[in-house]
Amino acid sequence: MSLLADINMHVREVLNTVNHQVATRPTSASVAQSWTRCLNEFRLDPAHFVMPPILTQQELAARREAASDLIACSKLEMTTLYQQLADPELAVVLVDAEGVIVHQVSSVPFGETVAADGLRVGALWSEREAGTNGMGTCLAERECIAVYQHEHFYPRYTSLTCSAAPIFDDQGAVAGVLDVTSRSKLLQQHSLVLVGMSRQMIENRLIDARYRRAHMIHFHSRPEFVGTLHAGKLAVSDEGVVLAASRSALFQLDFRSHAELVGKRIEEAFNSSLEDMLARSIRGSFHPVTVYSANANSRFFLIAQTPRDATSTATRILMTDPGAREYPSAARSRSVKPRDSREVREARDAGNVRDQANRLDKLSHLEFGDPGMASQIQLAARVIQRKIPIILRGQTGTGKEVFANALHSISPNSAGAFVAVNCASLPENLIESELFGYRAGAFTGAQREGRRGKIVQANSGTLFLDEIGDMPMALQARLLRVLEEHEVTPLGAEVTVKVDFQLISASHRNLMELVQNGIFREDLYYRLNGIEINLPALRDRADALALIHHILESETDDPPTLSAEAQRALLGYAWPGNIRQLRHVLQMAMALCDGGEIRCSHLPADICGGVPGAPGTMGTTNAYSAPGLARATGLSGAATPPHAADDADTSTLNAIQLKERETVLALLDEHRWNVSNVAKGLGISRNTLYRKMHRLQIRLSHDGSSPSDA
């Protein structure tokens, strides 16, 4: 179909939808309403594209000054979000309350490409100017929205997908919109989730920035959520008057609008005064303390904090409350906080980055340079800190349980147990007792003392439900109730047990298809699917060679080397059993080679059968079409691997990276491409060196011979 035909079809689709005629593709109600506004209210014509207006430098400077606190509170979150999504064909965009782009994070090539369409700092992207789009429609609807490619009003923008969330200020007004715009053909399921999480952090930062001298109260109905994104947040004056409230605070306290709470005394929210909450927080060393709502219908846990430059209340508490005087150091170190200087904030941000780096280092055994796997790891590492349910999708043998166990090790629940249940391997009549447990004498054959179920065993830890798609429908209903009520009733028991755990599920099946086929509960699916992490098949991983060497080294202190033909065979094979199959093959080969070099004769015939010249191949050929082979080594079937510097694309490297690449190449040549020796010389791990080589476009092969340790 020609470009003109595509445009005409899109225009007809917009007109048919607005005129309530049959449309060729379904659209959401929000998009249909937006198209109607664009046509009837703004008098836009989908067939006549008009570039969004661009502000002058003077006008833009005035806009950025007016939104300076919004921009300052958003920059770090935008950069983090961009790194998390790890897609060069993507931009993270911030617009003000009128739709003017005031800040944008993207790669230079993508930024230049979309700038030609008007997506650039200073452009006005309201619906009136740009038609239906993520930013403008989000401003109009005042709610999170995803605008898929064909849902844009103008055909010019149908290659873009937008995920946008409104940023509300402390008075409930829309301060701006955080948006992710991508050329991805598929709407990433997790994009809108991450945008929403980043939006919440920006809103909390805005309260901190605008009420620097106020007392901050963080609360939640569950103590473990105090201090997280889920907690409510109130800024309170020295006189006990509520100055600002987060949307989570309003929701938890059952207020419908900011006007119902802001300007009122704190006693209208809680049955406790500001001084009492501060004193109890000091006495409790700033662990959550219990309070009740003003109507005594709900119990909350909170921490009240006082900034150092608002000393009157803190001083009064320390002078009049004997219990508080016992903890003056706690008051100084945890409650009486100065307004952070820029240097302090930068140091804190650097500390956060180090914490994230430490967490990622604990996951370093999961990938060795594959960018797709790395992006999924970074995404999961961020989400697990907020106790969001995770679904792992991947073929059999891709390492879902290993991945889940690694996530547990960096989660807030890492001190608890990691409890794994394979829903596919247990007989249907045993799954219920395995999950929920049973009391003594609950049924014939039961253990005399009863049994704790896996869910109770996972309390304060992580519950990993592998192959969740094979769980019977009847048990799906019981599991849903546990997740919603945070309690479990063992078989034959009348008393419920409170539980709290991180939930990670896994399946090689498409759960949404199971939902559509009526064999998996839709409500359970959405309860499990806080975010979906996709583990690539082994044949699609760019770090296949490094992974092979990692497995060899994990099996013995003195791993054997790989012959050139064995290496090509391993990388050229499709691996239907993925990493599990690879590990078994390598274990067998190590036993057969008896500590020497692994050759094709030590590998199964179906793996080495296509390698030219290999023993027993009978002249068969191999196209070496597996992506893992091409990306991991650059081999194309030639007997001699190419030199790393001969055909690498270094056009994307800057001057510093080129110099670093030159140094690493020199070290590799000096050590005859023994990666272990080079890593030791640099004082870094092999995994870190593999990532560095991948980033610097250095292939894991050497001119003239196979690498001795790559």
3 state SS for 636-695: CCCCCCCCCCCCCCCCCCCHHHHHHHHHHHHHHHHCCCEHHHHHHHHCCCHHHHHHHHHH
Report the half-sphere exposure of 453 (CA within 13 A, side-chain side).
Answer: 26
Q: Does the domain formed by 211-335 have CATH 3.30.450?
A: yes
Q: What are the pLDDT digits (tens) for 26-66?
A: 678 889 999 999 999 999 999 999 999 999 999 999 999 99
pLDDT of 402 above 70: yes
Structure tokens that stand for 392 in this block: 């792992």
The pLDDT of residue 296 is 64
Q: In sequence order, which residues have a C-beta less than 8 Å from that of residue 495 and are 6 or more positions away?
A: 489
What is the distance between the alpha carbons of residues 384 and 376, in angstroms, rounded to a whole number? 12
- How far, CA to CA in Å, does 701 sit from each of 50, 124, 371, 667, 672? 52, 50, 19, 14, 11
User: What kind of architecture, by CATH, is found in domain 640-710?
Assistant: Orthogonal Bundle (1.10)
Alpha helices in 230-285 (DSSP H): 247-253, 274-283
Torsion of CA 192, 194, 196, 201, to 10 degrees: -160
The pLDDT of residue 190 is 67
Nearest Cα neighbor of 694 from 648, 639, 627, 656 is 648
Range(s) for CATH 1.10.8.60 in the chain? Answer: 537-632
What is the distance between the alpha carbons of residues 574 and 552, in angstroms, rounded to a whole number? 19
Query: Is residue 531 a contact partner of residue 390, using CB atoms and an 8 Å limit?
Result: yes
Mean pLDDT of the chain: 80
User: What kind of architecture, by CATH, is found in domain 537-632?
Assistant: Orthogonal Bundle (1.10)
For the beta carbon of residue 404, count every other beta carbon within 10 angstroms.
25
Higher pLDDT, 579 or 609: 579
Q: What are the pLDDT digits (tens) for 582-622?
A: 998 998 888 888 768 999 988 988 888 655 445 443 333 33
Q: How confident is the model at residue 224 (pLDDT cuts 50, 70, 90)?
A: confident
Segment 63-71 shows an average pLDDT of 93
3-state secondary structure of 154: coil
Range(s) for CATH 3.40.50.300 in the chain? Answer: 367-535
Phi/psi at 648 (nearest 5 deg)? Answer: -75, 145
Q: What are the pLDDT digits (tens) for 300-352?
A: 999 998 875 444 454 455 445 545 444 333 333 333 344 444 444 444 444 45
- CA 63 to chain centroid, in Å, comes to 31
What is the distance between the alpha carbons of residues 547 and 543, in angstroms, rounded to a whole number? 6
Q: Does the domain formed by 367-535 have CATH 3.40.50.300?
A: yes
pTM summary value = 0.50
Range(s) for CATH 3.30.450.40 in the chain? Answer: 33-207
DSSP string spanning 386-431? TT--EEEE--TTS-HHHHHHHHHHHSTTTTS-EEEEETTTS-HHHH
- DSSP 8-class letter at 639: S
Q: In sequence order, which residues have a C-beta less than 8 Å from that of residue 409 and are 6 or more positions away?
A: 362
Structure tokens that stand for 522 in this block: 């839709």
The pLDDT of residue 154 is 94
- DSSP 8-class letter at 291: E
Query: Is residue 571 a contact partner of residue 635, using CB atoms and an 8 Å limit?
Result: yes
Range(s) for CATH 1.10.10 in the chain? Answer: 640-710
The pLDDT of residue 357 is 56
Structure tokens that stand for 534 in this block: 């996709």
Residue with tokens 């007016």: 66
Segment 181-199 shows an average pLDDT of 77
Cα separation of the two ends of the chain: 48
Question: In the CATH scheme, what is the code of domain 33-207?
Answer: 3.30.450.40
- DSSP 8-class letter at 37: I
